[in-house]
Structure 1
Amino acid sequence: MIVTIRVDDRLIHGQVALLWTKKLQADGIVVANDAAAANPTQQMTLKMAAPYNVKLTIKSVEDSVKLLNNPKAEKMRIFVLVNSIKDALRLVELLDGKGLTINIANAGRFDGEDISKKLTLTKTVLVSDSEMINLKKLIDSDNEVILQTLPDEQIRKASDLLKAHNK
């Protein structure tokens, strides 16, 4: 069972490994990222950053869907990590996901696009025009789309933040 999908441009780091995995009581992490799945060095780095007591799987977005649709996955509490809103949308669409929680925590800072041309939703979430389209599609899906960097922070609905920015 997917406990949450987190958009985090850093994938696994201290907040994810120590705080979120514990808060979600996850016994598995799936990194759904095409680049990481194809890069042995990045895979090694992610494995070193992952908690020792949590099973880590690194797959392409498409291969992650196959894994997440496996009946064995229903018995686990799986924390899914993607590094962009685009990949979160792609994953949700391929899963035909409904009733999921998508937490957009850190996005748009390291994608190579001009930061000055992005809408700042929070200090850690910057959205380009193309990612805005993807975000609106996620919001329109039958899923909960929130922005929350740390477990003890207030949960903010993505739709409310867009309304506040008249988007």
Structure 2
Amino acid sequence: MVKLMRVDDRRIHGQVAIAWSKALEFKVLMVANDESAASKTQTMALKMAGPPSSKTTVQSIEQAIKTINDPRTANTVIGVIVTNLKDALAIAQGATDQVKRINFGNYGRLNGGDVSQKKKLSDNVYVDEEDLKVIEEMKKTGIPIDVQLLPYMAMVTLDDVLK
């Protein structure tokens, strides 16, 4: 079961490896990203950055969906990190029953494009018109979506920040 799927440009960093992993007690921290999964160097670096309290894996989007849907992982607390909204949507649609929450953490400042041309949802989340279309599709999955930088900070629903 995916307790949290986090959209985060930076993949694994202190907020994820320490705060979120500890708060939600991930047994597996999965980076779902085709580019990272195809790179031995990125995979190795991400595994080293993962928290010692959980197993860190790096998988393609297709493999991540298979792993999440595998009955053997049904009772495993999994945290998934994706770097973009299209990947989050693919996983949300491919594993809807297994994903309990989608969290926007750090998105839109590092993934290209002019930030001044994007809509600011929070201090750490910026979206463009294409992102807004993907978000509308993501909302159709029925999975709760929020914006929350750290687990001890206030959680705000995505609908509230879109207003």
Give the TM-score taking structure 1 as reference length: 0.93
Partner of 2:47: 47
3-state SS in 2 of match to 1:68: helix
Q: Which residue type is aligned with residue 57 of structure 2?
A: T
| Cα-to-partner distance string for 1:74-133 (whole Å, 9 max, x where unaligned) | 121001110111211111112244762100111111112121210010111010111111
Partner of 1:89: 89
Partner of 1:145: 145
Aligned CA RMSD, in angstroms, stands at 1.3
Q: 1: distance between equivalents of 2:82 and 2:99?
A: 18
Contact 2:27/2:55 (CA < 8 Å) preserved in 1? yes
Q: 2: distance between equivalents of 1:101 and 1:58?
A: 20
Q: 1: distance between equivalents of 2:150 and 2:96?
A: 27
Label 1:53 to 1:99 Cα distance change in 2 as closer, same or farther (>3 A). Answer: closer
Return structure 1 stretches of 4+ with deviation > 2 angstroms.
96-100
Partner of 1:63: 63
Partner of 2:118: 118
Q: Which residue type is aligned with residue 145 of structure 1?
A: I
Q: 1: distance between equivalents of 2:134 and 2:106?
A: 15
Give the TM-score taking structure 2 as reference length: 0.95
Contact 1:29/1:78 (CA < 8 Å) preserved in 2? yes
Q: Could you tell me the percent identity over the aligned residues? A: 37
3-state SS in 2 of match to 1:31: strand
Label 1:159 to 1:56 Cα distance change in 2 as closer, same or farther (>3 A). Answer: same
Partner of 1:10: 10
| Cα-to-partner distance string for 1:55-89 (whole Å, 9 max, x where unaligned) | 11111111101111111111210011101112111
Provide structure 2 residue ranges, at least 5 long, that are not aligned to the other structure. none
Q: 2: distance between equivalents of 1:70 and 1:137?
A: 24
Q: 2: distance between equivalents of 1:12 and 1:4?
A: 14
Structure 1 residue 42 displacement after superposition: 1.0
Provide structure 1 residue ranges, at least 5 long, that are not aligned to the other structure. none
Contact 1:99/1:144 (CA < 8 Å) preserved in 2? no
Q: 2: distance between equivalents of 1:98 and 1:158?
A: 20
Count of aligned pairs between the two proteins? 163
